[in-house]
Amino acid sequence: DAGVTQSPTHLIKTRGQQVTLRCSPKSGHDTVSWYQQALGQGPQFIFQYYEEEERQRGNFPDRFSGHQFPNYSSELNVNALLLGDSALYLCASTPVTRNRAGANVLTFGAGSRLTVL
Amino acid sequence: TQLLEQSPQFLSIQEGENLTVYCNSSSVFSSLQWYRQEPGEGPVLLVTVVTGGEVKKLKRLTFQFGDARKDSSLHITAAQPGDTGLYLCAGARGSARQLTFGSGTQLTVLP
């Protein structure tokens, strides 16, 4: 059973460009969250998708947008890249459960390492 | 502003030593989780604590949730090189399905 898969694993962009990162959740998971992890820091919540809609959003500008598809996979798009967007972008999926503890059990992918030059 | 403060930020110890990592906040969390992250990988869940005062043990790891659900600690007994990694605490507030992560503790266990 594959866990959370992300692509690409590494990419390099220049300032002003746009990037799309992709995530396939773990089998049986319906909710996808995206986190940004700068070097030496803990992950920061970007947003969460459930039933193809953005349900919660962290403190990130509108340059960060996303999408969830009917098969629960998700994309993260970042426009007008800045040097400060260089980070590891983590996708995490959550199981189809509505109990309090289960709602926050995240399975993370290995991440996409974005470098902006 | 980091809602969850972890200490120490870096810790380097010899194999066989004991250590404790702390996670503190001024906010109350409905649950708190501990993750370990290795280079090139995403964080992997170690434990979830939900009740104030709760203590959970996972082999040589002991996790405690503060009585007021604002802080937590991770104690490792007889550390081994395989324990090396970035330890992250993460809290959930209310019914929110997002986690707030601490800045992490980078642990290195030397053989």
CA quadruple A59, A88, B80, B2: dihedral, nearest 10? -20
Give the tokens for residue B15: 């194999």
Which chain A positions have a beta carbon within 8 Å of B35's beta carbon? 108
Q: Is B88 on the interface with A (CB under 8 A)?
A: yes
Nearest-Cα distance to chain A for B104, in Å, is 6
- Contact: A101, B31; criterion CB under 8 Å: yes
Give the tokens for residue A93: 């999926």
Other C-beta atoms lying within 10 Å of the C-beta of residue A94: 21
pLDDT value at B57 more than 90: yes
- Contact: B97, A105; criterion CB under 8 Å: no
Listed range (A2-16, A100-114, B18-32, B68-82) with the worst mean pLDDT: A100-114
The pLDDT tens digits along chain A (117 residues) read 679 999 999 999 999 999 999 999 999 889 999 999 999 899 999 999 999 999 989 999 999 999 999 999 999 999 999 999 999 999 999 876 655 555 567 899 999 999 999
Say if CB B101 and CB A44 are below 8 A apart. Answer: yes
Q: Is B24 on the interface with A (CB under 8 A)?
A: no
CA neighbor of B24 nearest in space, from B66, B80, B62, B61: B66
Rama region for A95: left / alpha / beta (φ>0; ψ in -120 to 50; rest): beta
Using CA atoms, how far apart are residues B44 and B53, in angstroms rounded to an integer? 23
Which chain A positions have a beta carbon within 8 Å of B6's beta carbon? 42
* Minimal-distance CA residue of chain B relative to A58: B98
* Minimal-distance CA residue of chain B relative to A47: B98
- Contact: B33, A35; criterion CB under 8 Å: no
